[in-house]
Chains A and B, each alone.
Chain A
Amino acid sequence: MDQYTAEKLKSIVGKDNFFDSKEDKLVYSYDGTPVFKQLPEAVLFPQDEEQISQILKLANNEKFNVVPRGAGTGLSGGSIPVDNSVVVVMTKWNKILEIDPDNLTAWVQPGVVTGALQKEVEKLGLFYPPDPGSLNVCTIGGNVANNAGGLRGLKYGVTKNYVLGVEMILPNGELLKTGGKNMKDVAGYNLRDFIVGSEGTLGIITKVLLKLIPKPTQSITLLIFFNKLIDAGKTVSDIISSHIVPSMMEFLDHTTINCVEDYTHIGLPRNSEAILLIEIDGRGSAVQEDAETIRKIAVKNNASALKGASDENEANTLKTARRSAFSALARRMPTTILEDATVPRSELPVMIEKVTKAAKIFDVTFGNFGHAGDGNLHPTCLTDERNSKELEKAHKAFDYIFNEAIKLGGTITGEHGTGLAKKHFLEKVAGPAGVDMMKRIKIAIDQNNILNPGKIFTISPKCEGHMPTKREQIKDFHV
């Protein structure tokens, strides 16, 4: 980035909100995604909509790229800088602007932490269900951009089911307002749902209107242990086919159980092959009845033991333990590569088997866990990114897993997004026509491809970033 552009940016956001020291560039070169990293040219903390608009206009004129970022906990590389880019950090936009108890909605800024919002609305007897594993850190802006899921997806759905309206600055600097407090609204294209999950490629979100629901009054949390992986899978299918919809049905395999126990010391049985963590919530006697049915199904499927959480504290401890699974696996090996292959729910037992098989074929170690209730698995490869041979094996194993998931009618990502990490697989799921349509929409909205380019897909033949002038600037070409 040349001096002129840097000075311009400084004058837009103010010198206190402009960072380009080598230290600051370094600490915004990564997010929660393993292996990927790249230094930005500068890091900006814009103060208002106008500043964001000016940054984007300047980017179009001076030909640099803009990468929006929340807390940087994403798992597909969505907020990792690209060539010749500035990072626009939204974490300081962290105000809850309005909670409307008459319409059951909340207007929030994009930097509001998901868990903090939940705490606030729950004080009023309301509920915001989406709960990604990083909910105490991640932001609503990032959740909307990635259509984040979480443990409660099974019964309550994911972020898209709770977004009523969005305001964002488009790549040309214009402000877009879409959606509103209406529960029904069919005026024109449904832009709002289209923006959810666009991974920061179509605009920078500045305000979000969320739907809230009444907080369930009762819940029961069960922990079921199995000596055989397949029995856990069978239990999940049986529960679903008996028309019970738990609010949570989480699966952890042997490796994950042991890593989580190393961290939490809550007494998980280290010799179990699998655990199901199930929560049933709602009102009245139905909660008890469903819990009883689940118990019976578990016993029929050879559960080795069954435990109920005695109070809310214990239930929370168990859920927190589950949320730590991904990071806890890092106790085993220096690098943990997490994926979220997702299959139709009935295929879950098959998919679990496929992951085990992939580990054998490619001689790698997997920890497997995930949202069993919605077929969303998180096979996590335990490896060392500093060893290229090991890394190569891991990538091959994931190729296999993705292909098997697609064969089962599944998808390459259930809730983490495509980003950098999975864009090479996108066409296999979305098809050539699908990817082509996405690219054409992107170019229609972002003519110069300046906003988070190279995420989800690569627009070609146009190059990303500056034309190289020296041999060493040319990088190996990856398709």
Chain B
Amino acid sequence: MSKEIQYKELLKILPNDDILQQCMHCGMCLATCPTYDLTKLERSSPRGRIAMIKSVARGEMEMSRIFADEMNFCLDCQACETACPAGVKYGRMVETARVVVDNTKFVSKLGVVIKRFALRKVVASRNGLKFVSRLLWLYQKIGLQKFVQTTGILKFFSKNLAEIETLSPVIADKFSDTQIKEIELPNGEVKYKTAFHFGCLMNTMFADINMDTIDVLKECGCKIITPKDQVCCGSLMGHNGDMEFALKLARKNIDAFDKHDYDFLISNSAGCGAFMKDYAHLLEDDPDYAEKAKRFSSKVKDVMEFFAEQKPVLEFNPALEPELTTYHDACHLIHAQKVSAQPREVIKSLPGVEYKELDEASWCCGSAGIYNVVRYDDAIKQLERKMNNIKNTNAKIVLTGNPGCMGQIKHGTKKFNIDVEVLHPVTLIKRLLNNQ
């Protein structure tokens, strides 16, 4: 195939003109875009990026380095989708543009291969992720991390590598999937039939949160099915230009859960929840899976959404002193799943909470999937803003419903020296329960 034909074939991946034309360039998105706010350049805004994608898709403008950079500069936080009255699906546009960009000379081939390998072979493979996590755990336990951090040896290779190293979360001693039984039953009667997706980061880095989730759900009267053959949800691959692989994972998950009888599929990871709710849409053209995907997605609930809607009865410890608590919206909860009132409602109702709203709570913290690893400097600018807002609340606890945000904000507490505890709302609930 000639280069020209190859290029034209590549462009076919981009959304068609009808979809692109839906953006009427009114500019309502500009106010919510973290990257536009940094540069004040139209090309770093959703409206500007759509104009560029439209122009490239129509063959009016050649793909370029600026184009590639701007597509990857985007956090894909989708705050613009929430702000868009016209209902433009910007996230999908930028994600397909990234697929195209990954196949051009403007992105390092090696980088794409490494990224793909890391996502396919490590994140998506439970054993791969566990192996890497174990290495990291070992690295932390035997004191090597302390040695590396105090000597600053990584700075010798690259300043960023040293910074990124500090992003690595403390690895749990035990992964959650080995501790959670395939079927967990509550002490009393079964009030809800649920299933649980344990995620990849939540399973390894934040295994305790998964254990807390199971404990709290059992307190609520949930029967919890956790299929052992479930896999990674595929969101990191889907958002980073590898949709083909993401859909393979989606089908595996659908098969794994479809065998069981349940009403709610609980996720405590905003990113996973959002992507699994999207299976229905992603697989709508797959004759074998369209129906199953629809059924699967309709049952997916973020754990806070489940609490707000079902209002399970829990007994809390009345003796606790209320602590000043605030809440950060994970992008994949508020923007992708449109879940923002529910967590607040649940948190405010907790007896041990004095709630204070966080300024710019829905502004991306810069974690954004693997963004804080691949674009560390840009991510830190967003994080600094977030940490300042958190500091201004004087809260002792900041809650958030996504492992990426938790890792990022925890990193922020160290980097900017802010004394606040970062928790998943479920962990706080567990802590406040009467039997604790």
Contact = CB atoms under 8 A, between A and B. Distances in A.
A328 interface: yes
Contacts of A19: 41
A22 B70 CA distance: 14
B40 A327 contact: no
On chain B, which size bracket covers the interface?
A: 20 to 34
B28 A137 contact: yes
A23 B22 contact: no
A207 B85 CA distance: 32
B24 to A, nearest CB: 4
A393 B45 CA distance: 33
Interface stretch (A25-33, A211-219, A300-308, A422-430): A25-33
A134 B18 CA distance: 25
A45 B42 CA distance: 12
Contacts of B84: 327
A136 B24 contact: no
B25 interface: yes
Nearest to A332: B86
11 contacts: A23-B52, A23-B61, A23-B66, A24-B66, A27-B43, A27-B51, A34-B24, A134-B27, A327-B24, A328-B86, A334-B21
Contacts of A24: 41-43, 66
A28 B42 CA distance: 7
Contacts of A325: 85
Contacts of A334: 18, 21-22, 24
Given A32-B25, A137-B30, A26 B66 contact: no
B31 interface: yes
A326 B28 CA distance: 11
B64 interface: yes
A386 interface: yes
A91 B40 contact: yes
A252 interface: no
Contact of B24 (A23, A29, A330): A330
A72 B42 contact: yes
Contacts of B40: 45, 89, 91-92
B66 A326 contact: no
A331 B48 contact: no
Contact of A134 (B17, B28, B47): B28
Given A23-B52, A27-B48, A134-B27, 12 more contacts: A23-B43, A24-B41, A31-B27, A32-B25, A34-B24, A73-B26, A73-B30, A137-B31, A262-B87, A263-B87, A328-B87, A386-B21
B67 interface: yes
Contacts of B67: 23
A186 B212 CA distance: 72
Nearest to B19: A334
B145 interface: no
Contacts of B43: 23-24, 27
Interface string B4-23: 00000000000001100110
A87 to B, nearest CB: 10
B26 A113 contact: no
Contacts of B27: 31-32, 71-73, 134, 137-138
Contacts of A22: 61, 64
On chain A, which size bracket covers the interface?
A: 35 or more
Residue among A23, A30, A71, A330 with max Cβ neighbours from chain B (10 Å): A23
A336 B24 contact: yes
Nearest to A69: B42
B125 interface: no
Contacts of A84: none
Interface in B35-51: 40-43, 45, 47-48, 51
A45 B43 CA distance: 14
B31 A113 contact: yes
Nearest to B24: A330
B55 interface: yes
Contacts of A118: none
Contact of A328 (B30, B48, B85): B85
A368 interface: no
A89 B45 CA distance: 15
Contact of B26 (A26, A91, A326): A326
Interface in A317-365: 324-328, 330-331, 334-336
B61 A26 contact: yes
A21 interface: yes
Residue among B17, B28, B51 with max Cβ neighbours from chain A (10 Å): B28
Nearest to A22: B61
B51 A30 contact: yes
B26 A134 contact: yes
A101 B25 CA distance: 38
Residue among B21, B22, B26, B48 with max Cβ neighbours from chain A (10 Å): B26
A311 to B, nearest CB: 14
Contacts of B24: 34, 327, 330, 334-336
Nearest to B70: A23
B64 A136 contact: no
Contact of A26 (B31, B52, B87): B52
Contact of B86 (A89, A113, A331, A384): A331
Contacts of A328: 85-87
